Copies of this chain bind each other. A is one copy, B any other.
Amino acid sequence: MHFTSEQRLDDGVLEREFTLGEIPGTLWTPESAAPAPLILMAHNNGLRRREPRLVARARRTAACGYAVATIDAAGCGDRPRSAGDERARADLRRAMRAGEPVDEIFESFIGPLVEKAVPEWRTALDALLSLPGIGGPVGYSGWTALGIRLAVAEPRIAAAGLFAGGYVPRAQREEARQVTVPLLLLLQWDDEGNPRQRALDLFDAFGTKEKTLHANLGGHTGTPWFELDDTNGFFGRHLR
């Protein structure tokens, strides 16, 4: 892991950009002496890690005493996209404009995106846990499909906070019942692109005995700020 830049924020949080082979990432660490629990934070459907909403969430979470890390995995964020991915995204835009069904298009590129992202997140996890000042257990926050896959594949993930606002491939909807770590699922009640019933069905399907759903009014990006406090409370119960 190679740090390429760093800045100290007003609340003492240290924000560092890094590369790990081809993988670019950002790490936020709190100003504390004790090892901080780590939270992996990813945007729904692989949006770029520098999105202001993700950065704001990461900074606030780090200020509460967590190490927070994100990466642009293969095909995500600013990473190069395959010709197939570009075609799928063009198909998606065309279908959305025409008001046509988009599930099969989402399936064709979100499914492989999750599969390719998982090994890179695990590589990043290995590297992050070897840094001084970062301890386990590990939490996951954000992109639901990746979170399901990681929670099933990666025994170091101890708790997951998921946003029910992105397309969840069939494979992850099916393996949801294999997830056994504590879960907090955030649902935006009026999310235009994501049928409410599908999120409720997903919540129902998770295999874990300790799962909580928080639903708030409003569209996809309208999650109220106080959910960040509740999410920190959730991680506080399971990572501390």
Interface residues of A (CB under 8 A from B): 189, 200, 203-204, 209-217, 224, 226, 229-230, 233, 237
Shortest distance between the CB of A164 and any CB in chain B (Å): 12
Closest chain B CB from A146 CB (angstroms)? 23
User: Is B214 touching A212 in the complex (CB atoms < 8 A)?
Assistant: yes
A229 to chain B, nearest CB (A): 6
Would you call A217 and B210 a contact (CB within 8 A)? yes
Residues on B with beta carbons closer than 8 Å to the beta carbon of A213: 189, 213-216
Chain B residues with Cβ below 8 Å from A215 are 203, 212-213, 215
A213 to B217: give the CA distance in the assembly, Å.
9
Other A-B pairs beyond A210-B224, A212-B216, A230-B233, 17, CB < 8 Å: A189-B213, A200-B200, A203-B215, A209-B217, A210-B217, A211-B217, A212-B214, A212-B215, A213-B213, A213-B214, A213-B215, A213-B216, A214-B214, A226-B233, A226-B237, A229-B233, A230-B230
Which residues of chain B are near A204, meaning CB under 8 Å?
Answer: 189
